[in-house]
Structure 1
Amino acid sequence: MNKWLRANKGFLLFLALFGIFRTAVADWNPIPSGSMHPNLLEGDVVFVNRLAYNVKVPLTDIVISPTGEPRRGDIVTFSSPLNGTRLIKRVVALPGDRVEMRNEELIINGQTAGYTAQGHGIETIHGIGDLAAVRVDEAVGESRHTIQFLPQIQARRNFAALVVPPGQYMMLGDNRDNSEDSRYIGLVPRALLIGRAERVLASADITGNWMPRTERFGMSLYPKQ
């Protein structure tokens, strides 16, 4: 065993450093579900900047030092406060914001988000089939992005006003009626933030023919407005 370790110490050191890099500096995150439709698709692999918000002790949620503040509209990977599952959602409300939802419309600090129709799409739900999805642009302050609704299914389209406590964030999926987000798992403490998703590294149609979607390679998740 000792002989094998000596013979492979360079490779083992590489693996250790690579593991530290992935858990402390940068990472990639496969998208397994449709909760961020239409902006992220199943089979996308996104680049995650782990230094966007915090420097952490590798392999832990212990924050050594903050490096930046999450902004409304950021797409963030984080550990679910409910069960620790890694999730990816969009930040919609920051500490100190007063936020509520009425009939799908977000109201933040007394200002109703702006919604502009963008057309329709098709959403395939396991056990249900193909549904018509309504797509709109949602604008809150400087944050603007496309989301979609699925009027045919039951979802939490309302919640009472609440003030986001210090050090916590409200996360919602862009696929509003098919997302397990802060309406179900609660607000997300800063220590559970993993990083900011920046762009799509690669993509394949894992729900269809498994062909690469080369048009998505390198795509920024924050197109210029």
Structure 2
Amino acid sequence: MKTIISFWKNNRLFFFFVMLMCVFRSAVADWYTVPTGSMQPTIEVGDRITVNKMAYDIRLPFSDISLLQLDEPVRGDIVVFESEQASNRLIKRVIGLPGDQVSMRNNNLYVNGRSLNYQLEKRTEREVLLTEQLGENTHQIRLDTQVNTPLKNFSTVTVPEDYFLVLGDNRNNSADSRVIGFVPRHELRGKAGYVAFSLDYDDHYLPRKKRFLTNLYEQP
């Protein structure tokens, strides 16, 4: 018993620090490892993304209980959410807000009857890179020309109250709202902000120096 008490006295600051870090990562901020290319070119496979968990809600630490709603996502936000439909944690871009009418024709998005603006950035045999204007947000999207998918078209849908329509920036290679449906607000876990660091899985897991602290909302 004396040994346990002595151990606690000698290490209580360390345990207190670990506890605070766990609370911080649970309720304030964390990072998320991106395992797929569904958000290319904005997010690469191997990126570690910082997530502001207080962007939309204050949650009870170590739980999914929202104590206070602070804000709502806007079009263009990159959100992390726990998808019950996909049984996985996902990261996608918010396209449609509650009440919006959204459709897609040959990868061209229409929001509330208006086509988004697109500008060609790059074209190769394998892919097309476009700049997409979504409200005040400008970002790049990738179209894989070697993939023939029905996902590039869908009829007009109305986003229900307390739900969001989300898409991946790698439009022909993303299991998003076209597959899993609308995302309920209570599944949101935070807003992605920066690339904390990135490892290149194809190059012996070496760090990608150019991606260090990259702002996800700034064009390259």
The Cα shift of 1:54 comes to: 0.7
Give, as a single letter, the amino acid of the residue that structure 2 aligns with 1:69. E
Q: How many residues align?
A: 216
What is aligned with 1:23? 26
The answer as to whether partners of 1:72 and 1:94 remain within 8 angstroms in 2 is yes
Task: Pick from 164, 168, 171 the counterpart of residue 169 of structure 1.
Answer: 164
Task: Pick from 141, 152, 168 the counterpart of residue 146 of structure 2.
Answer: 152
CA offset digits 1:140-178 (Å, max 9, x no partner): 322211001112213211112111111111110000011
* Greater mean deviation of Cα atoms: 190-199 or 5-14: 5-14
Task: Pick from 196, 204, 218 the counterpart of residue 213 of structure 2.
Answer: 218
Q: Normalised by the size of structure 2, how large is the TM-score?
A: 0.91
The Cα shift of 1:195 comes to: 0.7
Give, as a single letter, the amino acid of the residue that structure 2 aligns with 1:98. Q
Q: Residues 224 and 151 from structure 1, CA distance in 2 versus in 1: closer, same or farther, beyond 3 angstroms?
A: closer
> Which sections of structure 2, spanning at least 5 residues, go unmatched?
none
The answer as to whether partners of 1:51 and 1:67 remain within 8 angstroms in 2 is yes
Matches within 5 A, 1:74-223: 74-120=77-123, 132-155=126-149, 156-223=151-218
In structure 2, distance between residues paired with 1:3 and 1:120 = 66
Identity percentage over the alignment? 42
Question: Match of 1:204, SS?
Answer: strand
Flag as ranges the 4+ runs of structure 1 deviating above 6 A. Answer: none
Task: Pick from 64, 70, 77 the counterpart of residue 67 of structure 2.
Answer: 64
The answer as to whether partners of 2:140 and 2:219 remain within 8 angstroms in 1 is no
The Cα shift of 1:224 comes to: 6.8
The Cα shift of 1:25 comes to: 0.2
Give, as a single letter, the amino acid of the residue that structure 1 aligns with 2:4. K
* Greater mean deviation of Cα atoms: 213-222 or 76-85: 76-85
The answer as to whether partners of 2:27 and 2:58 remain within 8 angstroms in 1 is yes
Q: Normalised by the size of structure 1, how large is the TM-score?
A: 0.89
Superposition RMSD in Å: 1.9
> Which sections of structure 1, spanning at least 5 residues, go unmatched?
122-130
Give, as a single letter, the amino acid of the residue that structure 2 aligns with 1:212. P
The answer as to whether partners of 2:78 and 2:93 remain within 8 angstroms in 1 is yes
The Cα shift of 1:75 comes to: 0.8
In structure 2, distance between residues paired with 1:3 and 1:112 = 67
